[in-house]
Every structure is written in C-alpha cells, then in structure tokens.
C-alpha cells in the first residue's frame, strides 16, 4: 500500500510517503527562513495507524512545527529478525552435524561388528581346520594337498564333474600314478558344514568292507574341504533301475546280488563294525557300483554311531529323503538300526520293480509303491510288480521271496521289522517267512498328513537324490 500525506503550515511543507505501512521523510521538519537547523526522522518507520485514517499535521507554535507519529524504529526490528534467523540457522547446522555424526557412528559400529565376525569366522575355520588335520593324522588318514587334487581334476573342470548333492560337487580325477579317484568337494553354499564333513570322515575312516565305499584320504587347506574316494566307474544304482534303457542291463540274478550286497553292507554297519552305525540316508543314489557291479554304500555325512547299550536315539533335526524315511523317524525324530531297515525295504521294492516309491501312481488306487506291493502281495499277485522281461520262470520263487522280505522291512511298527542279520539269513535260505503286517507310509497322503502334523519332520533333502550323477565315479 502507498499513500502521500501533505501538510502545509505557512512557508513550510512536510511530505510523507507511506510504502507498505512504512513512512519516509522527504524534507526537513522545523526549518526556518535563514535557519539551517532542522530535525529529520528515521528514513523508514513503521506506522501504527491504519492506512484509511487521516493524519493531522498542525503547527503548534508560530516558529516551530512539532510533528509526532507513534512510530517504532525499523532498525530494532531488523536486528531482532536478523538474530532470529541467525539462531534458526545455527539450530539447523547443529542438527545436521549431529545427524551426520550419529549416522557415521552407526556405520562405523556396523562395520566393526562385521569385521569382528569375519575375524572370528576365520579364526574358527583355521582352528577347526588344524584340529581336523590333527584328528585325521591320529586316524592315519592320508592328507592330500590342494595342488595335487586340483591337478588331478584339471582344476575342478566342469567336464570332470560327476554330479552334485547337498554336500557339494563330485569330480573325477586321476593321480600322477594313474589311479582314478572321486573328489567330493564341500561347497561354500552347502547346507552341510565342517561337522558333517568331520562326521563322514570319522565314521568311514576305519570301516573296511567290500560293500562300503573306500575313503582314500581328504584335504583341508585354506577354506577347502574335500574327501577323496575310490572311483566307481558304473555310477550309482538309481542310474540303472529307474532308467528304461539302462534298466535292461540288470537281469534278475544281478539285481538279487546287488540287494544281497547292500544287506551285507548294512549288517556290517549295524553289528560287525568297530562303531555301531546308523546310516540315516540309505537310498538308490547312495549305492555305488564298481567295475564288477558290486554295490558299495556311500555318503556317511548323516550317519550316527551308537554305544553298546544304546539302541534308539532322538533328534530335533530330521535328515534324509522322503520316500525312504521310516515313520517314527520322519514324524517323531526317533532313529535306530530299524530306521535303516525300513530304507532297505524301500530300496528292495524299487530294485525289484524299477519304480520309485515316491511319486508312484496307479490308475486303480492312490497307494505309493509300498502300498501297491502290499496290495498285490495280499492278492497273491506279487509277480505283477516285476516287468515280464526281467524274470524267467525259474526265478519266480526268488522274486516273490525278495518282495516278501522287502514288505517285512517296511512294516509300520519298528519292533516288527527284522534286523539286518535276520534279513541276510532270509535271503540266503528258503525257510518260511512270517506274514508282513501293514506297512508304514503306504500312501503319499499318509506321509503328507503325518509330516504336516509334526513340527520335527523337516527332512534334510526332499528330492530323491542328494547326488545326481551324470558320469561314473
């Protein structure tokens, strides 16, 4: 808003210009003729009167004009505003500095904690690595250096890769003396760690049996952990029995011989070895075949040993493969030698039929392979479980006996299952066998319902094979 206020008194004239409620003095007040005195108000003063009000300028004396307005000095107000802005800027700067400082402290703290954890992990690995080396030397287990195994596997080339499972990849290698080996290398992303690595070594290092894979040595260097086994040129059992083409390479006498060899290997683990060992992950992919097709049980990472007086143990961490796990182990975490017997029974039925237990389907019912075999056996149609090309009439009785033994091993109640020593006797004789009772997990629905109702049923591996082989090892 702007306005001009004019007031005249005699020869004197005072003019004020109001701009945005401020008044500017354009001439001297109290100037007399021939008198140089005068008073001048502040260049800008705040006007307290409303702009719509008139201003009365009247001379109060003859020679002087006293002009009085209720104005406040603008300089004071400007100084107040300046101080206020200065304090505001100061607060903003202080807040910014404090925020930045706190952020830097938090970042530094996080970095220090991560570095500390990394150092702890390095120390732990090195300490445990030295401890493992010491234990292996105590067991008189040969230790391979990393350079030797890298040279043997062509620097772990993918063309030498035999397969990969929960532990990590497996490579074929050839030592300088020409000996072929299988190198099992612990993956950095493996769900198994040093405990499983040590467990497998300590359980198998002293085991010597023709139906168990032989451990030749190991390597613990830097962050590498590797196991060195004898090479199995004919891959694993699942490569043959579940493949329509390869399956024809296994006639019935050879299949029966493989079943018998697996039984003898388990018997050694349960009864005749220095440690009574439960494998806990027996399946077709963990049975390797040598150049003469002799079966050899492998992969002892999940194995557990028992003392003389202990027959049953319990765990909160269920490991294994669905389709092979016994009901009491999958649901309640209880395992024993009878858990391996159940897995063996499944393996027998798979070897006889050439079908997987898990994923088996039939148009007439919802049973899995166990339930299907039990139904055929009760209806005296057990031979329908086997392909016609596989069995000659002279082997019919032996086939039916193998199916009968398999059903005895997969009975639901652990106490009803035979021990492996009894199984070996059954397979080597022609005596009368007891009738099998209802098997455990004879349908996929049973397995899923039992598993969903138990918080402990968290299997280590939900696939059929923990190592999917693509070449011999």
Mean pLDDT of 319-323: 84
The predicted structure's pLDDT at residue 24 = 43
Query: In the 8-state DSSP scheme, what is residue 193?
Result: -
Terminal C-alpha separation, the chain: 98
Question: E strand or H helix at 335, and its extent?
Answer: strand 334-336
Mean pLDDT of the chain, nearest integer: 77
Q: Lowest mean pLDDT: which of 128-142, 156-170, 417-431?
A: 128-142
* Angle at CA of residue 361, ends 357 and 367, nearest 5°: 70
Q: What is the pLDDT of residue 10?
A: 46
What is the reported pLDDT for 343? 97
Q: Which of 11-15, 89-93, 329-333 has the highest mean pLDDT?
A: 329-333
- Give the model confidence (pLDDT) of 186-222 as tens digits: 877 665 566 677 777 777 877 889 999 998 998 888 7
* pLDDT level of residue 85 (50, 70, 90 thresholds): confident
Burial of 262 (0-12, 13-18, 19+ CB in 10 A): buried
Of residues 446 and 80, more confidently modeled: 80
Residue written as token pair 């032989």: 214
Q: How far apart are CA 185 and CA 11, in angstroms?
A: 113
Higher-pLDDT residue of 301 and 471 is 301
* Radius of gyration over every alpha carbon of the chain, rounded to an integer in angstroms: 46
Q: Which segment of 81-90, 172-181, 376-385 scores lowest on mean pLDDT?
A: 81-90
Between 205 and 174, name the one with better pLDDT: 174
pLDDT at position 212, please? 95
Unique residue bearing structure tokens 């530094």: 108
pLDDT tens, residue by residue, 384-413? 999 888 888 999 999 999 999 999 999 999
Sign of the CA dihedral with 411 first, then 408, 299, and 286 last: negative
Residue recorded with tokens 């319902």: 449
281 classed as catalytic: yes
**Integer Cα distance of 385 and 249 in angstroms:** 18
pLDDT value at 380 more than 70: yes
CA distances from 229 to 183, 204, 457, 468 (A): 6, 11, 32, 17
Give the global pTM: 0.67
Domains of the chain and CATH, by start: 2-69 (no CATH), 235-473 (1.10.510.10)
Q: What is the pLDDT of residue 53?
A: 45
**What percent of the chain shows pLDDT beyond 90?**
41
pLDDT per residue over 227-279, tens digit each?
A: 999 999 999 999 999 998 999 999 999 999 999 999 999 999 999 887 789 99
Sheet bearing 22-25, strands edge to edge: 2-9, 12-19, 22-25, 45-47, 71-73
* Cα 341–Cα 345–Cα 346 angle in degrees, nearest 5: 120
- Residue 47 has which token pair? 């006007």
So what's the pLDDT on residue 435?
95
**Candidate list 238, 281, 299, 340, residue with the active-site label:** 281
The dihedral through the CA atoms of 84, 88, 94, 95 has a sign that is positive
pLDDT band at 310 (very low <50, low <70, confident <90, very high): low
429, with CB counted inside 10 A (0-12, 13-18, 19+), is exposed
If one compares 78 and 333, the residue with the highest pLDDT of the two is 333
């Amino acid at each position: 808003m702007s306005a001009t206020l004019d007031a005249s008194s005699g020869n004197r004239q005072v003019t004020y210009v109001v701009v945005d409620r401020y008044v500017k003095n354009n001439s001297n007040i109290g100037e007399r003729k021939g008198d140089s005195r005068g008073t001048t108000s502040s260049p800008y003063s705040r006007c307290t009167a409303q702009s719509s009000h008139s201003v009365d300028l009247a001379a109060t004396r003859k020679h002087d004009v006293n002009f009085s307005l209720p104005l406040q000095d603008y300089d004071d107000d400007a100084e107040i505003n300046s101080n206020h802005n200065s304090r505001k800027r100061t607060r903003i700067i202080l807040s910014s500095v404090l925020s930045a400082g706190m952020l830097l402290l938090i970042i530094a703290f996080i970095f220090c904690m991560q570095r500390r954890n990394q150092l702890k992990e390095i120390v732990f690995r090195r300490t445990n690595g030295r401890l493992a080396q010491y234990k292996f030397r105590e067991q008189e287990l040969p230790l391979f250096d990393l350079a030797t195994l890298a040279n043997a596997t062509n620097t772990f080339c993918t063309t030498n890769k035999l397969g990969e499972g929960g532990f990590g990849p497996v490579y074929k290698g050839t030592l300088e003396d020409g000996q072929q080996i299988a190198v099992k290398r612990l993956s950095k992303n493996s769900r198994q760690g040093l405990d499983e690595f040590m467990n497998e070594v300590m359980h198998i290092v002293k085991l010597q049996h023709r139906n168990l894979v032989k451990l030749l040595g190991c390597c613990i260097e830097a962050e590498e952990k590797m196991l060195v086994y004898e090479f199995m040129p004919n891959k694993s059992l699942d490569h043959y029995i579940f493949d329509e083409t390869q399956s024809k390479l296994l006639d019935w006498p050879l299949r029966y011989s493989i079943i018998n060899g697996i039984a003898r290997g388990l018997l050694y683990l349960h009864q005749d070895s220095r440690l009574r060992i439960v494998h806990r992950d027996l399946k077709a992919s963990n049975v390797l075949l040598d150049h003469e097709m002799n079966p050899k049980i492998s992969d002892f990472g999940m194995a557990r040993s028992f003392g003389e007086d202990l027959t049953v143990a319990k765990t909160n961490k269920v490991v294994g493969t669905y389709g092979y796990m016994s009901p009491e182990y999958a649901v309640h975490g209880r395992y024993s030698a009878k858990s391996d017997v159940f897995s063996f029974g499944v393996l027998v039925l798979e070897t006889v039929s050439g079908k997987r237990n898990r994923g088996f389907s039939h148009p007439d019912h919802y049973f899995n392979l166990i339930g299907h075999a039990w139904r055929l056996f009760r209806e005296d149609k057990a031979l329908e479980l086997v392909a016609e090309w596989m069995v000659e009439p002279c082997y019919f009785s032996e086939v039916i006996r193998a199916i009968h033994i398999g059903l005895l091993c997969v009975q639901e109640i652990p106490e009803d299952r035979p021990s492996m020593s009894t199984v070996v006797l059954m397979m080597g004789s022609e005596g009368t066998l007891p009738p099998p009772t209802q098997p455990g997990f004879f349908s996929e629905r049973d397995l899923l319902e039992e598993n969903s109702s138990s918080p402990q049923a968290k299997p280590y591996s939900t696939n059929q094979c923990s190592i999917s082989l693509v070449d011999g090892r």
